[in-house]
Every structure is written in C-alpha cells, then in structure tokens.
C-alpha cells in the first residue's frame, strides 16, 4: 500500500473510488477513468452516472466554487469544480479531505496541462489524451483497497431520478437516469414528458426502441442496487429556450404504482455566431487523432412545387446564412434529368467549425435537402432550427401563403454525414 496514503495495512478507509470523470464546464463528458488503468475519451453518454454529473453541472451546484456530492443508494457522486474542466468521482464511503484533495489536484493539472486543448474546445475527443493522467490518479489513489474496506459506507434508500440535456443530430437529447436503491426492484419504469409542442417535437429515442405508442419512454425493470437510463430526442422548431418537465412512473413494493417528478430542464438553442461579421478569421489546427474529428451531423428535407424555383430557395438560404457569417459558395448546377442545384457554406467560430450543404433536386416536384455538420452538437441544433425558420417563414412569406413546404423525414437510420470536402476542409 502506498506510504503517502498514511494508512496501515488492514485499516479501514474513508472512501474507495470506482471511476472518475472529467466534464467540460458546459456539462459535456470529456473522459472516464476506471479501475486497473482503464481510460476512455468516449464515455457512455447514456450512463446514469454521466447523466447525474451532467445534471449537477446544469443545476449550477458549483457556482460558488465548492465541491458538491449526492448519494444514490450505495453510490456517492462527488464533483469538484475546475477552471477548464470539472472532476467527478463515483465512490463508496464519504468524500473525505484526501479524496477532495486528489480531485482538486486533478482539476488544477487539467487546467495547467490541457489549457490549449480545452480553452476553446471544438468538441470531440481529439487532443484530450492529456486528461488520462490527472483523471486516472483519482482512481489509482484508492487502488490498494476495495469497496468492502470502507469504514462508513453511506446508504440512501429509495428511487432517485436524474435528468440532463445535451444534443445529437440536430435534436436536444433529454436524458433520464434512474437509480434503484429501494427494498425491491423497480418494475415497468417509464418516463412521460411535457413540453411546448410549438417549440419542440418528438423525433425519436435512445435506445431507438424505447418509445411506446403514447410517446412515453420505456425504461423497464431495474434491479435493486442498479440503474437504468433512456433519452428522448426532441427537435427544436425555432431558436430559443423551451422547458421540459416530466414524471417517472413505476411499480414498487407490493406492485403498488408510484410516481416521481423528474428534475425539469430548459432546452436552450442559442445562436453561436454573431450576426453581420465574418467568422472564418483562421483555421483550426489539424486533428490530432487519425481519421479526423468527431462530427455530429443532421439531415432534413422538404418537398415543394417546382413553380417556386430552386434558385429562389438557394437565394433565401444565402441571405439567412450570410447575415450570420457563413458565405455560401457559388454552387453547381447539373441539368439532369432530374436537374439539381447544390451549394455549400462553412464558418469557424473559435475552433468550432460549422458546415451547411443544400441540394435541390427534381422536376415538377422539388426536394430540398439540407445537411449540417459540426464538432459541437449544439451548433448543429441551432443551424437546423434557424434554417427551418428561414425556409418555412421568411421565404414562403414572400409567396403570401400560396405555397408551403412539406417536410420529409430523412434520418430514420441515424444522422447522415456531410459529403467529403465539406467539414473536413474546415478542420484542417
């Protein structure tokens, strides 16, 4: 056993750490460190523990710069704030001064050693390999003993729901985690959500089969001491903020029905790019990892009458993007049949790139397809919501309601990636 732990062989310890995480100040999970030196830059974003940590950050529990903790059954989640990254630990026992000291040291080491990678992080795991040492040290400090060698293990009985919001494929991902720590297993757990239908619409779920016919999210059975999670994909219909509330229903002891309120969240889709000024003042550095950056993408399509003209659609898009710093290229035209027009736009905000491509295809009936890509999923959600507003309102207001767009679903099998030469050119 390491001498600097100041404990004797066979002595009980205040805590034991099973895993540790680093989280961006905007709550996105950066990495996970586990026992035996395990480390990943792609933590499971549907992990109930990750959802709980994200919820802590989104609740602003660390605004005073102090560590916070929560107890879910035998799991204790401790979170220490940092300047460029917060450090979280999943432990058994109590968050003692030695544990908090190791977490604070990890947060300082991240701020000092990973400043270039995190100061203006574009998203994705590229360039974050330096997190392994600081975050792994929080777990390795207690590697000399096990969870059964804790002097005062905490235990909270009950069922504990947690929530958090992030983004995927142009949608807000409202995530629900449930920790089952009652005397019996949770049966038939399901989450029912409430939100403004004029602001958000249900697009899908994670995992894909979790939605039932009523639109509720099925979580199912959760064994005692275990946890489960599910997520709803809610597509923002316009830029702005929308409140999401909900209720967790399940059957507990004696098959009695129970209902718990879910922590409410705001879905905020905000414009990342300032209007009226160019953004592509420089190019971000080449990605450090082979294969390029991790890109979140979305694709949407609309059908409309050929009488409106493909070039008019492109002209409206050019105006909408140009006032936000994105300049559409000259585009290309293929006579067909069927004829097609394609234009692309790109911009870089800090080191976060955004790529937008528009293609119009068809004869008497035209199909407009929009593809968006960025390393920041929140930027993708903004671009999809903003372009929908411009296309459905600004352009067709010009036609005085005589024509409209019919939206066509194009993403049943997952988000489409932008074609080569789009985003890849921006991030190199």
Per the model's pLDDT, the better-predicted residue between 321 and 183 turns out to be 183
Q: Which CATH class is domain 296-426?
A: alpha beta
The predicted model gives 75-91 an average pLDDT of 96
Q: What is 3-149's CATH superfamily?
A: Longin domain (3.30.450.50)
pLDDT at 245: 97
The predicted model gives 369-375 an average pLDDT of 86
Q: How confident is the model at residue 330 (pLDDT cuts 50, 70, 90)?
A: low
Question: Three-state SS string across 85-141, please?
Answer: CEEEEEEEECCCHHHHHHHHHHHHHHHHHCHHHHCCCCCCCCCCHHHHHHHHHHHHC
**CB-count exposure of residue 395 (10 Å: 0-12, 13-18, 19+):** buried
pLDDT at 130: 93
**What is the CB neighbour count within 10 angstroms for residue 205?**
20
pLDDT at 49: 97
| CA-to-CA dists, residue 56 to 17, 34, 159, 280, angstroms | 19, 21, 18, 34
pLDDT at 402: 61
Q: Residues 253-308: pLDDT tens digits?
A: 777 899 999 999 999 988 776 443 334 433 333 333 333 457 888 888 888 777 66
Q: What is the mean pLDDT of the chain?
A: 82
Q: How confident is the model at residue 352 (pLDDT cuts 50, 70, 90)?
A: confident
**All structural domains of the chain with their residue ranges:** 3-149, 158-269, 296-426
Torsion-angle region of residue 56: left (phi > 0), alpha (psi -120 to 50) or beta?
Answer: alpha
Distance CA 139, CA 21 (A): 10
User: Comparing 76-90, 110-124, 167-181, 204-218, which segment has the lowest mean pLDDT?
Assistant: 110-124
| CA-to-CA dists, residue 196 to 102, 182, 238, 242, 245, angstroms | 44, 33, 12, 7, 10
Distance CA 216, CA 300 (A): 24
pLDDT at 292: 46
Asked whether residue 421 carries a pLDDT value surpassing 80, the answer given is no
Q: Residues 400-409: pLDDT tens digits?
A: 556 667 788 7
The predicted model gives 122-127 an average pLDDT of 79
User: Comparing 104-113, 151-160, 393-402, which segment has the lowest mean pLDDT?
Assistant: 393-402
Per the model's pLDDT, the better-predicted residue between 215 and 17 turns out to be 17
Q: Are 94 and 100 in contact (CB under 8 A)?
A: no
Percent of the chain with pLDDT over 90: 49
Model-level pTM? 0.86
Distance CA 406, CA 398 (A): 17
Asked whether residue 6 carries a pLDDT value surpassing 50, the answer given is no
Q: How confident is the model at residue 8 (pLDDT cuts 50, 70, 90)?
A: very low
pLDDT at 119: 81
Residue 284 in 3-state DSSP?
coil
The third-level CATH classification (topology) of the domain covering 158-269 is Immunoglobulin-like (2.60.40)
Residue 54 in 3-state DSSP?
helix
pLDDT at 396: 62
Distance CA 188, CA 202 (A): 22
The predicted model gives 309-324 an average pLDDT of 64
Q: Are 86 and 78 in contact (CB under 8 A)?
A: no
Distance CA 81, CA 87 (A): 7
Asked whether residue 345 carries a pLDDT value surpassing 80, the answer given is no
């Amino acid at each position: 056993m390491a001498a600097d732990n100041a404990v004797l062989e066979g002595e009980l310890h205040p805590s034991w750490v099973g895993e540790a995480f680093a989280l961006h100040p905007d709550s996105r999970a950066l990495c996970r460190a586990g026992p035996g030196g395990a480390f990943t830059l792609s933590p499971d974003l549907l992990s109930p523990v990750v959802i709980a940590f994200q919820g802590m950050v989104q609740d602003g529990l660390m605004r005073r710069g102090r560590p916070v903790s929560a107890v879910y059954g035998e799991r204790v989640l401790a979170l220490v704030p940092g300047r460029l990254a917060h450090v979280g630990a999943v432990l058994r026992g109590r968050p003692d001064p030695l544990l908090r000291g190791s977490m604070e040291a990890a947060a300082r080491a991240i701020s000092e050693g990973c400043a270039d990678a995190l100061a203006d992080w574009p998203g994705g795991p590229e360039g974050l390999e330096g997190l392994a040492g600081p975050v792994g040290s929080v777990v390795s400090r207690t590697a000399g003993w096990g969870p059964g060698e804790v002097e005062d293990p905490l235990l909270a009985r009950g069922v504990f729901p947690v929530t958090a919001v992030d983004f995927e494929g142009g949608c807000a991902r409202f995530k629900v985690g449930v920790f089952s720590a009652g005397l019996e297993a949770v049966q038939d757990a399901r989450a029912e959500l409430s939100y403004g239908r004029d602001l958000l619409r249900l697009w899908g779920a994670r995992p894909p089969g979790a939605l039932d016919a009523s639109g509720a999210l099925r979580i199912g059975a959760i064994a005692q001491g275990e946890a489960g999670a599910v997520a709803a994909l809610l597509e923002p219909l316009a830029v702005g903020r929308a409140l999401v509330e909900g209720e967790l229903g399940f059957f507990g002891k004696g098959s009695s029905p129970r209902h718990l309120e879910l922590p409410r969240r705001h879905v905020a889709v905000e414009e990342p790019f300032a209007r009226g000024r160019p953004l592509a003042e420089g190019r971000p550095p080449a990605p450090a990892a082979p294969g390029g950056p991790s890109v979140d993408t979305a694709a949407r399509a609309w059908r409309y009458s050929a009488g409106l003209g493909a070039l008019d659609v492109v002209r409206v898009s050019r105006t909408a993007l140009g006032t936000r710093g994105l300049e559409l290229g000259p585009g290309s035209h293929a006579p067909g049949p069927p004829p097609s027009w394609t234009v692309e736009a790109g911009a870089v905000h800090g080191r976060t790139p955004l790529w937008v491509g528009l293609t119009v295809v068809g004869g008497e009936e035209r199909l407009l397809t929009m593809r968006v890509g960025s390393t920041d999923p929140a930027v993708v959600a903004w671009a999809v919501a903003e372009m929908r507003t411009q296309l459905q309102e600004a352009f067709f207001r010009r036609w005085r309601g005589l024509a409209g767009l019919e939206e066509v679903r194009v993403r049943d099998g997952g988000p489409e990636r932008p074609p080569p030469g789009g985003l890849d050119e921006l991030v190199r």
